[in-house]
Chains A and B, each alone.
Chain A
Amino acid sequence: QQQVKQSPQSLIVQKGGISIINCAYENTAFDYFPWYQQFPGKGPALLIAIRPDVSEKKEGRFTISFNKSAKQFSVHIMDSQPGDSATYFCAASKSYGQNFVFGPGTRLSVLP
């Protein structure tokens, strides 16, 4: 079974700090790695995504780092804000497929 592992399970960060969530995958055929953000009672929403042809992608306060040889990727949230408090999911898929595999999620709490 294809798996995506995610850590930590939960994370508490002070306002202004850096939040880091890590994921690892097994299937080398995956070539699309999105991060989703989910607020309570809502569906997940795409936050940022990366493909293996780049090692880093930055959008505002969010940065994805990708290590193809280690089959790992992570998201860094700079200057974390209380409004960032949510559950974050990493996922992986093939570019032209619809079989997304999700990590188990990380619950982030940013303290004011």
Chain B
Amino acid sequence: NAGVTQTPKFQVLKTGQSMTLQCAQDMNHEYMSWYRQDPGMGLRLIHYSVGAGITDQGEVPNGYNVSRSTTEDFPLRLLSAAPSQTSVYFCASSPRGGRVNEQFFGPGTRLTVL
């Protein structure tokens, strides 16, 4: 299993550009989430999904869109990039059911917005 994969690893955008961060998992996990990591602030939840076709907002959703058309994929779209969105983005997945909540994280995408 590849686990959780993210592309690209690095990206530089200009203010106002749009792009999509890709996330895929091959563990058949129901739950998937997107976080951003900024120095001194830990990880903050952007959006999450509890299954295909179902998404919800996290703590910092503004400026980001998500969709979940399949169990495997959970792309994150930046509609109009702003310097405040410079961050490291992590995608995570976890199984549903039981009392196990372990999240499996991808390697991250480092985004710089100029």
Interface residues of A, Cβ cutoff 8 Å to B: 1, 4, 6, 9, 32, 34, 36, 41-46, 49, 51, 89, 91, 93, 95, 98-105
Contacts and interface: CB of A to CB of B under 8 A. Distances in A.
B61 to A, nearest CB: 12
A44 B94 CA distance: 13
Interface residues of B, number: 25
Contacts of B94: 98
Contacts of A101: 45, 59
Contact of B42 (A32, A51, A105): A105
A99 B44 CA distance: 10
| Residue from the set B4, B42, B99 with the largest chain A CB neighbour count within 10 Å | B42
Interface in B87-114: 90, 92, 94, 99, 101-103, 105-108
Given A42-B107, A43-B107, A32 B101 contact: yes
A44 B90 contact: yes
A104 B92 CA distance: 18
Interface of B: 4, 31, 33, 35, 40-45, 48, 50, 58-59, 90, 92, 94, 99, 101-103, 105-108
B99 A51 contact: yes
A66 B108 CA distance: 30
A107 B107 CA distance: 19
B102 A46 contact: yes
A49 B102 contact: yes
A16 B82 CA distance: 45
A45 B99 contact: no
A41 B42 CA distance: 15
A73 to B, nearest CB: 15
Contacts of A49: 101-102
Contacts of B48: 98-99
Contact of B44 (A32, A36, A42, A102): A102
